[in-house]
A and B are shown apart, each in its own frame.
Chain A
């Protein structure tokens, strides 16, 4: 609260373009009138504004659309998946089959989500690094942050590597666990032995079967249960889908005869599809035993939980965050927690949503941090920095006292740029401050030569600038900011002065001092309402060399012959956060 860093957020134009692009025919007559009217000033406090404001660094720029692109108007594309702990790349095919967790030896502590390291039991108290492999003996996973160890839940490992596979076979307390695949195999074998899952048979075989299956449910972890359920219903679907229709869950493909007949039914208007489906519908049945994925809730488990809560106490129950990380659903006690395999991370490239051109593409290697393509807005639109003109002792803005700020526009382009900035005279909101831009129109020079800058920086330029600034500050009284004049100018940057009269934050003020909104709503000051934010409409115009665009050799060559400069224009809203207003 004490320190406030001024910021400039840019509104991505994509939020405005939800105008009738896709509306078919139903355009109401009032709509064009509304859009034709003067656009309302952008309100940074509007609830929607939060979703469209980004710092310049987060924005990309599409060279083909000549438009800013924010994270909401780009499409992410997967380049690679990798484990954030061991940094091994996982092929996407493996991700599809094995799941989105690291299947090597990377685990997180279930208590504090710190990384777990393997250590031999003999040397457990040092517990650092996998080098203890040399010690031999049983191993445990231990957390270096909270000192949790898998010994606490009775899990010890024989090998220091491929822990994921080892853990999949071990239950709490060291008992072995048959994993999903073995279960399925078993099930298949059973079905081969003449157990066919149909309703007719159910009546006869239920009693003896169910008892053994109830025991079997105990062994299932969530993953294998889900696997069983999925396998069962897929089998059911494949048996019944060729003739059934009307959206069986999980079967949306238009290629299936069921869907096809449904579509045909829609168009012909006949009910020939319905008849068929009605006759065959009864064949689908639900899972009815554990190998098929049925989990029967036993009332005794509830009692057991209550009893455990009595004996172990509240302190041994899991927190919501801990529980959320677990893949198992019913973990209530700390002793039920299991180490969490690391979730894989992705590396993505980004495309423009409208023209599908690639805006950013990292190199495919996981360890490389370079980009093959990187079109960031930082290289196309001027950056804005804010600085108070007078250095005041307090960081808060004094209400009703005119304060001046310097806006510095820095041009990243190789062409000089004309900038127009406009603000409403009063900031929107209940406490509206008065804002005046002293110089709303100016030209920023081109970002010509990096060498020049380097030479100047090395030489006397920096000092000179410093001198000029100090002089300006020293002679503050005389050196007044003049309307229509640029305050300071550099090779590719321009500073202009903005004068602000911060509003009084008093709710109980005399009526003439109050804004309309405040008169309507006299509730006390809300959170962050004391931050002075100025919406500014920035319009940038420049003449670009069309040859810079590599839109194909021939076109470029033709343009070069003509030597025509293309006029470009970009306009967007920008929100300047200037400071907090002091309460009086």
Chain B
């Protein structure tokens, strides 16, 4: 805290990503940011966990993130991994647009769709698939391999669909305003 960088909290990239100086991005060559996303302090993104090297394919995408995503403080994104045909390998983690991840949540999903809101202290299990317009309430543990259909509200340990997103709530998932609100 005492060595606060004079330039401000965030580094802004050409495509408008705001990446905190205190974020921990590992294996940055394997991370794709779609632009206008916010990565806050202490966020861990494990780009180094790529698929097992196959015949000289050098650069592989470990984590692909769309536009207008916000990753709150101390959340962690790691590609899911499993043993397949005798070898342990990680698989890419894809995150679409307008995805909000709350503080201290751990994401190991295979796919997160558009307009998804994940609360604080959640765990999204390995290879989970979250479709569009889903709200994951605080403290939810989504078990591995779970599929959450669109317009669901999910809570509990293990996660359970507890409600539906009403028609009017759909607009509330847009994160453009929230992105603009993030300033250095």
Bound form: Cα–Cα A58–B163 in Å: 12
Known: A60-B167, A112-B158. A117 touches B145 (CB 8 A): yes
**B169 x A144 contact (CB < 8 A):** no
> Most chain-A CB neighbours within 10 Å: which of B132, B150, B172?
B150
- Is B168 part of the binding interface, using a Cβ–Cβ cutoff of 8 Å? yes
Task: Tell me the residues in window 335-386 of chain A with beta carbons closer than 8 Å to chain B beta carbons.
Answer: 345, 350, 360, 369, 371, 374, 376-378
Contact of A60 among B84, B125, B158, B168 (CB under 8 A): B168
The answer to whether A500 has its CB under 8 Å from any CB of chain B is no
Which A121-168 residues have a C-beta within 8 angstroms of B?
A: 123, 126, 128-129, 131, 134, 143-146
Query: Which residues on the B side are within 8 Å of A58 (C-beta)?
Result: 166, 168-169
A462 CA / B181 CA spacing, docked (Å) = 10
Contacts of B125 in A (CB 8 A): 144-145
Question: CA–CA, A369 to B169, complex, Å?
Answer: 13
CB nearest neighbor in B for A116 = B145
Select B160's contact among A56, A71, A113, A126, beta carbons within 8 Å. A113
Assuming the contacts A57-B168, A371-B167, A376-B168, asked whether A128 and B147 have C-beta atoms less than 8 A apart, the reply is no
Which positions 100-146 of chain B face chain A at CB distance < 8 Å? 114, 125-127, 131-133, 141, 143-146
Residues of A within 8 A of B166 (CB): 57-58, 71
Query: Residues of A contacting B132 with CB < 8 Å?
Result: 369
Q: Which parts of A94-134 form the interface with B (CB within 8 Å)?
A: 112-115, 117, 123, 126, 128-129, 131, 134
Could you say which residues of chain B place their CB within 8 Å of the CB of A538? Answer: none
State whether the Cβ of A457 lies closer than 8 Å to any Cβ in chain B: yes
Count residues on chain B whose CB falls below 8 Å from chain A CBs: 33
B68 on interface, CB distance cutoff 8 Å: no
Q: Provide the bound-state CA to CA distance between A56 and B169, in Å.
A: 9
Measured between beta carbons, the chain A residues less than 8 angstroms from B14 are none
Roughly how many angstroms separate A251 CA and B22 CA in the complex, as a whole number? 72
Q: Which stretch (A81-89, A268-276, A302-310, A444-452) binds chain B? A: A81-89
Contacts A58-B169, A60-B168, A126-B83 given: A113-B145 contact, CB under 8 Å? no
With a cutoff of 8 Å between Cβ atoms, the chain A residues found around residue B169 in the complex are 57-58
Bound Cα distance A59, B168 (Å): 7
* A window 61-102: CB within 8 A of B: 71, 82, 84-87
A378 in contact with B171 (CB, 8 Å): yes
Q: Which residue of B lies closest to A348 (CB)?
A: B164
B146–A115 CB distance below 8 A: yes
Chain A binding site: helix, strand, loop or mixed by DSSP?
Answer: mixed
Kindly state the separation between the CA atoms of A263 and B142 in the bound complex, as whole angstroms.
Answer: 57
Indicate if the CB atoms of A457 and B180 lie closer than 8 Å. Answer: yes
- When the two chains form their complex, are residues B127 and A376 in contact, meaning their CB atoms are under 8 A apart? no
What's the least CB distance linking B100 to chain A, in Å?
16
Q: Is the beta-carbon distance between A84 and B147 smaller than 8 angstroms?
A: yes
A112 contact set on B, CB distance < 8 A: 143, 158
Chain A residues positioned under 8 Å from B146 (CB to CB) = 114-115
By a CB distance below 8 angstroms, the chain B residues around A85 are 147
B64 within 8 A of A: no
Separation of A128 and B110 alpha carbons in the complex (Å): 13
Closest to A135 in B: B85
Asked if A87 and B147 make an inter-chain contact with CB atoms under 8 angstroms apart, the answer reads yes
Q: Which residues of chain B come closer than 8 Å to A350, judged between CB atoms?
A: 167
Most A-side CB within 10 Å, residue of B114, B126, B127, B149: B149
Q: Do A129 and B82 touch (CB < 8 A)?
A: yes
**Is B161 an interface residue when CB atoms closer than 8 A count as contact?**
yes
User: B residues within 8 A CB of A82?
Assistant: 149
For B149-184 the 0/1 string (1 means CB < 8 A from A) is 111100000101100001111111000000010000
Residues of A close to B151: CB separation below 8 A: 369
Would you call A345 and B149 a contact (CB within 8 A)? yes
Which chain A residues (165-198) contact chain B, with CB distance < 8 Å? Answer: none
What residue of chain B has the Cβ atom nearest to residue A347's Cβ?
B151
Q: How far is the CA of A369 from the CA of B149 in the complex (A)?
A: 10
Instruction: Tell whether, in the assembled complex, residue B84 and residue A144 are in contact, meaning their CB atoms are under 8 Å apart.
Output: no
How far apart are the CA atoms of A56 and B171 in the complex, in Å?
12
Contact B167 A128 (CB under 8 A): no
CB contact under 8 A between A144 and B85, given known A60-B167, A457-B180: no
Chain A residues whose C-beta falls within 8 Å of the C-beta of B83 in the assembled complex: 123, 126, 128
CB of A124 to closest CB in B, whole Å: 11
Known: A82-B149, A128-B126, A369-B151. A115 touches B168 (CB 8 A): no
Chain B 68-111, CB within 8 Å of chain A: the 1/0 string?
A: 00000000000000111100000000000000000000000000
Which A residues are CB-close (under 8 A) to B168? 56-60, 376-378
In the complex, which residue of chain B has the Cβ closest to the Cβ of A128?
Answer: B82
Q: Most chain-A Cβ atoms within 10 A of its Cβ — which of B131, B145, B180?
A: B145
**Is the Cβ of A128 less than 8 Å from the Cβ of B145?**
yes
A134's nearest neighbour on chain B, judged by CB, is: B85
Which of A60, A113, A369 has a CB less than 8 Å from the CB of B133?
A369
- Give B47-62 as 1s and 0s: 1 = Cβ < 8 Å from A's Cβ atoms: 0000000000000000
Whole-angstrom distance between the alpha carbons of A60 and B171 in the complex? 14
Contact A57 B172 (CB under 8 A): yes
Measured CB to CB, the closest approach of chain B to A503, in angstroms, equals: 31
User: Residue of A at shortest CB range from B171?
Assistant: A378
Nearest-Cβ distance from residue B144 to partner chain A, whole angstroms: 4
Contacts of B170 in A (CB 8 A): 371, 374
Contact check, B82 vs A113: say whether CB atoms are below 8 A apart: no
On chain B, the residues within 8 Å of A84 by CB distance are 147-149, 152, 161
Known: A126-B82, A126-B83. A86 touches B147 (CB 8 A): yes
Instruction: Give the distance in Å from the alpha carbon of A56 to the alpha carbon of B172 in the complex.
Output: 11
Pairwise interchain contact A374-B147, C-beta atoms closer than 8 A:
no
CA distance A82 to B180 in the complex (A): 38
How many angstroms from the CA of A86 to the CA of B169 in the assembled complex? 25
Closest Cβ of chain B to A201, distance in Å, is 52
Q: Are B149 and A87 in contact, CB atoms less than 8 angstroms apart?
A: yes
Q: Which single residue of chain A is at the shortest CB-CB distance from B161?
A: A84
Of residues 400 through 448 on chain A, the ones whose CB sits less than 8 Å from some CB of chain B are: none
Chain B residue numbers with a CB within 8 Å of A134 are 85
In the complex, what's the smallest C-beta–C-beta distance from B117 to chain A, in angstroms? 13
Residues in A whose Cβ lies below 8 Å from that of B144? 117, 128, 144-145
B151 to chain A minimum Cβ distance, whole angstroms, is 7
Distance A265 CA – B125 CA, assembled complex (angstroms)? 66
Which residues of chain B are near A374, meaning CB under 8 Å? 167, 170
Q: Does the CB pair B143–A114 fall under 8 Å?
A: yes
- 8 contacts across the A-B interface (CB closer than 8 A): A113-B158, A114-B146, A114-B158, A115-B147, A128-B145, A144-B143, A350-B167, A457-B180
Q: Identify 12 new A-B residue pairs, CB closer than 8 A, beyond the known A114-B143, A143-B143.
A: A56-B168, A71-B166, A84-B147, A84-B161, A86-B147, A115-B147, A129-B145, A145-B158, A369-B151, A374-B170, A376-B167, A378-B171
Closest 8 CB pairs of A and B: A144-B144, A145-B143, A57-B168, A376-B168, A114-B143, A126-B83, A57-B169, A114-B158
